[in-house]
Structure 1
Amino acid sequence: MSGREHHYSTAVTWTGNQGTGTSGYKAYSRDIEIAAPGKPPIPASSDPAFRGDPARYNPEDMLVASLSACHMLWYLHLCAVNGVTVTAYSDPATGTMAEDSGGGGRFTVVVLRPQVTLAPGSDAAKAEALHHEAHEKCFIANSVNFPVRVEAQTVTSSAGGRADPPA
């Protein structure tokens, strides 16, 4: 480590008191608001399986999204500094969480599926290889105790802008 530290601050506020607090299991909403200084709040809740609002993000969604976003941002950086031009990137990432008999649980795997489009003339082999380096550098992936797999698909756009099939 270089000795540099970065600090992050968030505030999580329960907004689900429906008048009687937690007087009963069904008496309160699981709605929360996540905020960080200078940023818009994020409406969140628990997973719908745990009485959460399906229209709000839940912590599990955000963990999968954090892993995906961290990988993507490292990947885009590595492509930029290695002469690989990415013109589009999306990732329909998925995560699996298993509950245990005591009511707790843990994530067992997250699978990132980056779909990357390269500009004509970009080195597709190098682009594929940079996913490994991005995974190795991702702060979030380095912080979890379950596997994070990367199953990337790379295409090169033709001069007309459409994507050619994967090589």
Structure 2
Amino acid sequence: MSVHQSAIRWQRAPHESDPGTYSRNHRVTLNGGQQVDVSASVEFKGDPGCADPEQMLVSAVSSCHMLFFLAIADFQGYRVDSYEDDPVAYLERNAAKGMEVTRIELSPRITFGGDNVPDPKAISRMHAGAHRNCFIRNSITAEVTIHHL
């Protein structure tokens, strides 16, 4: 077991472009001391210069998948030279007429180096293993799909 913490700090301030409401900007401090400026998404009166919770969620899913993929590839003797992804999350209405991230699409592009390069079936198996083991993916209800070449 491991424990993960953060600190969220918000202080009332006027909204930069809508004086009738408040700023959604706040700061997240992670337990390693890293700080992230966060706001609501732009569609919900957030600051486009800040990360939003939905971006952080999709980034967490993609990062978790990548870390498991890298570990599996390394364990199987493959050298990954680069891994890139441009994940997309879809915030949509759910059956209860609320909003939720219903699906996340990962599109990893991986470059292997060395003499031992996996074939497409081995790559698919590594993605399946990463998908199955990703802690973040296992913690959410959104459908996560992986589109890879």
TMscore range, shorter length? 0.7 to 0.9
Alignment size in residue pairs: 144
Report 1:88-167 matches (<5 A): 88-99=82-93, 104-121=98-115, 122-125=117-120, 126-153=122-149
Whole-angstrom CA distance in 1 between matches of 2:81 and 2:57: 26
Give the match's secondary structure for 2:82. Answer: strand
1:102 CA drift (Å):
8.4
1:68 CA drift (Å):
0.1
- Name the aligned partner's letter for residue 10 of structure 2: W
Per the alignment, do residues 34 and 72 of structure 1 end up closer, same or farther by CA in structure 2, a change over 3 Å counting? Answer: same
1:128 CA drift (Å):
2.9
Give the match's secondary structure for 1:30. Answer: coil
Which residue of 2 is the match for residue 47 of structure 1? 41
- Residues 80-115 of structure 1 show CA distances to partners (whole Å, capped at 9, x for unaligned) of 010111111000110101146988301111000000
- Name the aligned partner's letter for residue 46 of structure 1: A
**Aligned to 1:10, which of 6, 10, 14?**
6
Larger radius of gyration: 1
Whole-angstrom CA distance in 1 between matches of 2:60 and 2:31: 18
Report 1:25-64 matches (<5 A): 26-64=20-58
1:152 CA drift (Å):
1.6
- Residues 26-52 of structure 1 show CA distances to partners (whole Å, capped at 9, x for unaligned) of 331000100123322100000000100
Per the alignment, do residues 120 and 13 of structure 1 end up closer, same or farther by CA in structure 2, a change over 3 Å counting? Answer: same
Higher mean Cα deviation, 38-47 or 71-80? 38-47
Is the 1:89–1:116 Cα contact (8 Å) retained in structure 2? yes
Query: Identity over the aligned pairs, expressed in percent?
Result: 28
Instruction: Flag the structure with more relative contact order, 1 or 2, with Cα contacts below 8 A and sequence separation at least 6.
Output: 2
Is the 2:4–2:31 Cα contact (8 Å) retained in structure 1? no
Give me the TM-score of the superposition, normalised by structure 1: 0.79
